[in-house]
Structure 1
Amino acid sequence: MRFRTRIWAALVALGLALAITAPAAAKTGPPAAQPSVIGGSEASTEEFPWMVAVSYAPSVNNQYSGMFCGGTLVAPRKVVTAAHCAKGLKAAELKVVTGRADLKDHTSGKVLDVGSVWIHPQFYDVWNGNDVAVLTLTEAADAPPLPLGTPDDDLYRPGAPGTILGWGLTGDNVPRITHLRKGAVAVSKDSFCDVEYADFDPEMMVCAGSDTTRQCKGDSGGPLVVDGKLAGIVSFGREPCTPVELPGVLVRVATYASDIQQQIDN
């Protein structure tokens, strides 16, 4: 089971490989990118203004705007994403695209530079947890941020309704998409995920999904929103992405709220 869960994370590279256009860039590019929300429907940045694309700078002008991971604006100059999205990359290799629901529409939104990258110091790989990164932008984004979930919030009660968002694949063996999608999910019981994922740690992780909707390759770094707050960061899941009923694993943001806030205040 441990091997099967790792296949999904390895395919992070798929999104990035598709996002890069030059062969030379592919050799020096980020890890891998992931696909998109299965189920759900198209979403807009008017409804979710804090949703951003984390992009590979040399490919930011391609049809996917260089997107290989999702991210969440949590302060005017701070974006939260997954650590495995940023590991091994320099700030100059990254861009953040705001206000662009359709990645191929380069007339909308804004492309912002990344000035610095913070990765949780205890991050090793997704299966060991701490899959959290904060990107500091060189200028403020023109969009309202999403509040962080904290230990004082009751965000992880089993059955709590939430929303996941992302770009990319909407199923197994299908082409990538360019338009942002949203999906309604519910927080799963920790005991259920502990059985399904050998690497699941309820202190650092949370599972969420539904009978019709779940995260898939390409959604990494994107948010789980519960009660209007950032509750999770898409981390990893089982490959293939069907059956849909098996929820994906996300970072339990409340566990890292103080670490993230420290980066926001820095």
Structure 2
Amino acid sequence: SLDSTGAQENIAGSFIINGVKCRPHSQPWQVAIIKNNRIFCGGVLVHPQWVLSAAHCHQRSYTIELGLNRLIPRQEPGSQRIEANFSVRHPEFVPPAKVNDLMLIKLNKPVIESDSIHTINITSQCPTPGTTCVVSGWGLLADGHLPNALQCAHVPVRSAEDCRAAYPGVYNTGMLCAGSKQDGQGACKGDSGGPLVCDGVLQGIVSMGMFPCTPFMKPNLYTQVCVFFHWIQQTIRAN
């Protein structure tokens, strides 16, 4: 449950652990992927007509909501709902493994950018360990309900060594770990596909959190966007 500050009181099985409500529209690249009228995954607007998400969020078609702060009501002033029928998973994504867990979704029409909806830059420069980044999303609460307002958590990038130790036999160079041992902030079930933003640049896509969520959990595993920079650009150009 959320207390008045938006921080989690009840940690087990909940959404962004120890997160707080994001300042409204401070993450204008954040999108919600809707399925059966519920949020299914997060995503990130990287081009006026393309959303980046996790490959394990793949569907035949998508309803994408942009410019939202609150999930209910979803008709916020300035929000947009756009359908999408075309997506490209990374060719080397092989479920259930989380290697190359990346997908591009092409919106049926470009978004109209505004203060509450706009793209975020990607880069081939990877973040240095220790950099503090922001992960955002809505996710599921323990009781199956959604937190109404978008949640944000500040998490430090961890070294490759930390990540390998936390995920032996899973970690590879296309992955990034972030999260703190001290305060247990991080992503959880329901955040898949959402953004990890470092210094205003997209550096990670939520791939794997620990569930049930517990404090002092392992760091979260993200797909490391910088490693896939050229694939993202080539895929957008080719389609």
Give the TM-score, by structure 1 length: 0.76
Count of residues in Structure 1 that have an aligned counterpart in Structure 2: 218
Aligned equivalent of 1:187, options 157, 175, 188: 157
Q: Tell me the secondary structure at the aligned position of residue 127 of structure 1.
A: coil
The question of whether the paired residues in 1 share the 8 Å contact of 2:99 and 2:172 is answered with: no
Residue 213 of structure 2 is matched in structure 1 by 241
Unpaired segments ≥5 residues, structure 2: 1-12
**Per-residue deviation, residues 36-88 of structure 1 (Å, max 9, x unmatched):** 311121124521111100111xx23xxxxx211000000000000000001xx
Report the alpha carbon displacement of residue 228 of structure 1 after superposing the two structures with TM: 1.1
Report the alpha carbon displacement of residue 128 of structure 1 after superposing the two structures with TM: 4.5
Letter of the structure 2 residue corresponding to residue 50 of structure 1: W
Report the alpha carbon displacement of residue 169 of structure 1 after superposing the two structures with TM: 3.4
Residue 202 of structure 2 is matched in structure 1 by 230
Residue 51 of structure 1 is matched in structure 2 by 30
Q: Superposition pairs for residues 82-161 of structure 1, below 5 Å?
A: 82-86=54-58, 89-91=59-61, 94-108=62-76, 109-125=79-95, 127-142=97-112, 143-150=117-124, 153-155=125-127, 157-161=128-132
Structure 1 residues 195 and 238: CA distance shift in structure 2, 3 A: same
Q: Is the aligned partner of 1:163 residue 2:142?
A: no
CA distance in 1, matches of 2:96, 2:28: 27
Residue 68 of structure 1 is matched in structure 2 by 40
Unpaired segments ≥5 residues, structure 1: 1-33, 61-65
Report the alpha carbon displacement of residue 137 of structure 1 after superposing the two structures with TM: 0.3
Report the alpha carbon displacement of residue 106 of structure 1 after superposing the two structures with TM: 2.5
The question of whether the paired residues in 2 share the 8 Å contact of 1:71 and 1:223 is answered with: yes
Structure 1 residues 260 and 55: CA distance shift in structure 2, 3 A: same
Percent identity of paired positions between Structure 1 and Structure 2: 33
Letter of the structure 1 residue corresponding to residue 160 of structure 2: D
The question of whether the paired residues in 2 share the 8 Å contact of 1:45 and 1:51 is answered with: no
The question of whether the paired residues in 1 share the 8 Å contact of 2:126 and 2:226 is answered with: no
CA distance in 1, matches of 2:30, 2:152: 11
**Per-residue deviation, residues 79-107 of structure 1 (Å, max 9, x unmatched):** 00000001xx212xx11100111111122
RMSD of aligned C-alpha atoms? 1.9
The question of whether the paired residues in 2 share the 8 Å contact of 1:45 and 1:99 is answered with: no
Report the alpha carbon displacement of residue 227 of structure 1 after superposing the two structures with TM: 1.8
Report the alpha carbon displacement of residue 245 of structure 1 after superposing the two structures with TM: 4.4
Report the alpha carbon displacement of residue 250 of structure 1 after superposing the two structures with TM: 0.4
Task: Give the number of the structure whose residues are more often helix, by fraction.
Answer: 1
CA distance in 2, matches of 1:41, 1:128: 27
